[in-house]
Structure 1
Amino acid sequence: MSFITGVGLTPYGKHDGSSSLDLMSRAAQLALDDAGLTRAEIDGVLCGYSTVSPHIMLATVFAEHFGIRPAYAHAVQVGGATGLAMAMLAHHLVEAGVVRHVLVVAGENRLSGQSRDASIQALAQVGHPAYEVPLGPTIPAYYGLVASRYMHEHGMTEEDLAEFAVLMRAHACTHPGAQFRDPITVADVMASKPVALPLKLLDCCPVSDGGAAFVMSRERTGEAGVRIRGCAQAHTHQHVTAAPALSELGAEISIARAKQASRLAISDVRYAAVYDSFTITLAMLLEDLGLAGRGEAAARIRSGYFSRDGRMPLNTHGGLLSYGHCGVAGAMAHLVEAHVQMTGRAGDRQVRDASIALLHGDGGVLSSHVSMFLEQVR
């Protein structure tokens, strides 16, 4: 058994003068304080990769910077799925008895510490070096292609996609750490600058500075208990030109495996934390995971189903689309928010029931997937 005993999250946005290691350290200390642990009690470190600080030994660089000497250290790199992949690895390490308390941490100063050209270059490298990169696309262009096909197959419109951005912004308005907190409308999304049609600026997550961390432990360290009930991965492809049909992507595979591992069904879930790098990402994943029928996710948004007071509260911190996206830590904010909700500490954002949470991360262009169920333990 493994418990998430503490979480830490910085505000996202612009942090002038803060390095990636500074942001990671800030989040890590918040997580340790939350867990009631000291640095000396941490015997394992898992660290997400950084495009701003691409060191070949980032986990030990962080450990040195943070002043700890772990018995186990490892860096993980599977794109946007990295945060949940690290949670899954930490869960297995703790259950296997390799470590007692694992600190999982990520953070980057992508907004203030990386130039626009450097960001584009880094994100372009997900493409196939022979068949894609020479043509010049970056991640938004790949997702634009996916969006066009999905909209064609399922009758989804650009206005439908805009609904996801509007909901994430509405949730971000209630979180003081969110990068963007001004309400937006469907009309605002439709009027925003084209990026990679049909995706427009407000269909895309922003670039942010920030850090996130959590501690995975063998036993709970406080009264509140949140444990991993079950998790699984799926990796169907790396490059868009090698991707299977949209109906055969990895989210459906990973959620089926996670349901089997946890012995839970979607009907058991009370809170959802789903990766939302673009509006099309969120729309597709909600449907792949069984949280909405094919082509029906936007209608559920309009009905209030995924609102804070709805049947399935979703990304109540604002998600990547509005809380912000600073690399690996971007999606880790989803886990932090789920933990805060499950321990009843969300204040004005608190949902009625978060006893069972479903988390899902996506890396690459719907390439790598991690599905995870968390359970509140009284």
Structure 2
Amino acid sequence: MTTRKQHTARITGVADTAMGELPGSTAMGLHAEATTAALKDAGLTAADIDGVLCGYSMTMPHLMLSSVFCEYYGLRPSFNTAIQAGGATACIMLANAVALVESGACRHVLCVTGDNRLTGMTRDGAVAALASVGHPEFEQPYGMSVPAAYALVAQAYLHQYGISRDELSAISVAARAHAALHPKAYKRDPLSLADVANSRVIASPLRLLDCCLISDGGAAVIVSAADAARDTRKPVRVLGSGQGHTHEHIMAAPSLTDFGCKTSSAMAFDQAGVTAAEIDVAEIYDSFTITLLTELESIGFFEKGEAGKAALAGDISLGGRLPVNTHGGLMSYGHSGAAGGAFHIVEAAHQLRGEADARQVAGAGLAFVHGDGGILSAHCSLVLGQE
């Protein structure tokens, strides 16, 4: 693999809103709240922002959501667009923001996401919105759902490598233990292996507590050119990034145990000039327990068939070999559509700044962030480091 030039862009501001059930919240309100907090975190003003990247909203779908937000907030950027890549959206937005500032097109790019999926949608509305993930001819007519597609991945993994119920459950339990240390996490009550194992079946072998939360919330990240970052509070370096795309619909996936994260992470590590073994903390998209398990192995943090055992042994917990999703991840911190992946970026920045309080990973100097969209379809990996 040819080593590419390292990035020079910096993350200069990060913020997320309150999490969970937020009655009265709106998609635009959450976007605005996160933006205001990120600007304050960076020590910038709205007038400094000359690029805006916006995600998508399920409660307020619009063909030009980024333009809608700029109108709402009073921004007039020189570059403005919305990006839709499911759970990979936030990481891909950040990668695009890096390209914008490093090309000289922008100085400060705002990446903003938010949705009130919990209080702003009915159950039927949420199911209908997610149904579009399935292929309209070969999947939707047969009742394929997002949980069922991930259960297919879980069944394939179970067949090929084997995994105990406790090993899969340990991923949820580790996430909840981290969330208990974060005052903003949606779910902080204790969770045991038995709780996960005894929760109701959603799509075998996945049970309710193998699935991520549905939450209200928003998050924003500001990416700045290297020289423009000098006067900001505490920048974080973007050392490497990469993407991997193998399929859209699960029926077309070339493998049910290896995914595009293998390619995207290899690109990010190569660009950063580091290996998986050097990463101090990882924030990886965890829509289901099987999502995190397969990605940990495809990325190269654990050998095939070993991630579940590692989770059960405490290797992905604070104090373990590789602390993962130290804020609680989508499983326990919260999941609000495109903002779900942004929460991982925010947490990585807090870890590298030494601002994670009780969940701080000692000596965290390198962080890995990964987002995936669809049914393990679109993948984007980032390697972040201290200034």
Short-chain TM bin: over 0.9
Q: Which of 225, 241, 251 is the aligned partner of 1:241?
A: 251
Q: Aligned partners of 2:272, 2:207: CA distance in 1, in Å?
A: 38
Q: Which of 147, 170, 184 is the aligned partner of 2:177?
A: 170
Contact between 2:95 and 2:241, CA under 8 Å: does it hold in 1?
yes
Query: Normalized against structure 2, the TM-score is what?
Result: 0.96
Q: Which moved more, 1:308-317 or 1:80-89?
A: 308-317
Q: Which residue of 2 aligns with 1:185?
A: 192
Query: Normalized against structure 1, the TM-score is what?
Result: 0.98
* Poorly superposed stretches of 4+, deviation over 6 Å: none
Letter of the 2:288 partner, please give it. Answer: F
- 1:73 CA displacement: 0.4
SS at 1:212 equivalent:
strand
Q: Which of 71, 75, 86 is the aligned partner of 1:79?
A: 86
Q: Which residue of 1 aligns with 2:42?
A: 35
Unaligned 5+ runs, structure 2: 1-7
Unaligned 5+ runs, structure 1: none
Q: Aligned partners of 1:289, 1:248: CA distance in 2, in Å?
A: 9
Contact between 2:9 and 2:238, CA under 8 Å: does it hold in 1?
yes
Q: Which of 47, 50, 53 is the aligned partner of 2:54?
A: 47
Q: Which residue of 2 aligns with 1:132?
A: 139
Q: Which residue of 2 aligns with 1:107?
A: 114
> What pairs with 1:243-282 in structure 2 (closer than 5 Å)?
243-282=253-292
Q: Aligned partners of 1:111, 1:270: CA distance in 2, in Å?
A: 33
Q: Which residue of 1 aligns with 2:310?
A: 300
Q: Aligned partners of 1:343, 1:145: CA distance in 2, in Å?
A: 39
Q: Which residue of 2 aligns with 1:356?
A: 366
Q: Aligned partners of 1:150, 1:303: CA distance in 2, in Å?
A: 20
Contact between 1:271 and 1:353, CA under 8 Å: does it hold in 2?
no
Contact between 2:44 and 2:232, CA under 8 Å: does it hold in 1?
no
- 1:224 CA displacement: 2.5
Q: Deviations over 1:139-189 (max 9, x none)?
A: 111001110111110111222110000000000001111110001011000
Q: Deviations over 1:107-129 (max 9, x none)?
A: 00000001111110111111111
Contact between 1:103 and 1:216, CA under 8 Å: does it hold in 2?
yes
Q: Aligned pair 1:317/2:327, yes or no?
A: yes
SS at 2:81 equivalent:
strand
Q: Aligned partners of 2:119, 2:323: CA distance in 1, in Å?
A: 32
SS at 1:18 equivalent:
coil
SS at 1:5 equivalent:
strand
Q: Aligned partners of 1:279, 1:316: CA distance in 2, in Å?
A: 15
Q: Aligned partners of 2:142, 2:58: CA distance in 1, in Å?
A: 22
Identity across matched positions, percent: 49
Q: Which moved more, 1:217-226 or 1:170-179?
A: 217-226
Q: Aligned partners of 1:57, 1:239: CA distance in 2, in Å?
A: 25
Q: Which residue of 2 aligns with 1:207?
A: 214
- 1:247 CA displacement: 4.5
